[in-house]
Amino acid sequence: ETGVTQTPRHLVMGMTNKKSLKCEQHLGHNAMYWYKQSAKKPLELMFVYSLEERVENNSVPSRFSPECPNSSHLFLHLHTLQPEDSALYLCASSEGSVSPLHFGNGTRLTVT
């Protein structure tokens, strides 16, 4: 399998649930990202990992918790989310600091 793979594609969760989003890249890249895309808003950067170290946490609420166990895998752990957290969550990877991003297909999250 090639590219950036995200699972699940769709997720519906209640406000008291705990779930995790998974991202895997097969491109040999050394940086991975989580973005949130809501309707009518620009892509919002959430977290950036470079060589498995978190280099950016863009003021994201603590109910979102990232994990990067190695350069190919990235997780986003979710707990006690709010309905306004419903959005498309996109994972991306890049080769370096000025290289283009390669996006996964995203996880459509609905919080009820």
Partner 1 sequence: QKEVEQNSGPLSVPEGAIASLNCTYSDRGSQSFFWYRQYSGKSPELIMFIYSNGDKEDGRFTAQLNKASQYVSLLIRDSQPSDSATYLCAVTLSGGSYIPTFGRGTSLIVHP
Shortest distance (Å) from residue 42 CB to partner 1: 5
Nearest to partner 1 of 66, 106 (CB atom): 106
Nearest to partner 1 of 13, 88 (CB atom): 88
Q: Which residues of this chain interact with partner 1, rule CB under 8 A?
A: 31, 33, 40-43, 45, 48, 50, 55-56, 90, 94, 97-106
Nearest to partner 1 of 4, 78 (CB atom): 4
CA distance 38 to 16: 21
**Residues contacting 25, CB < 8 A, separation 6+:** 3, 4, 5, 32, 72, 74, 91, 93, 102, 104
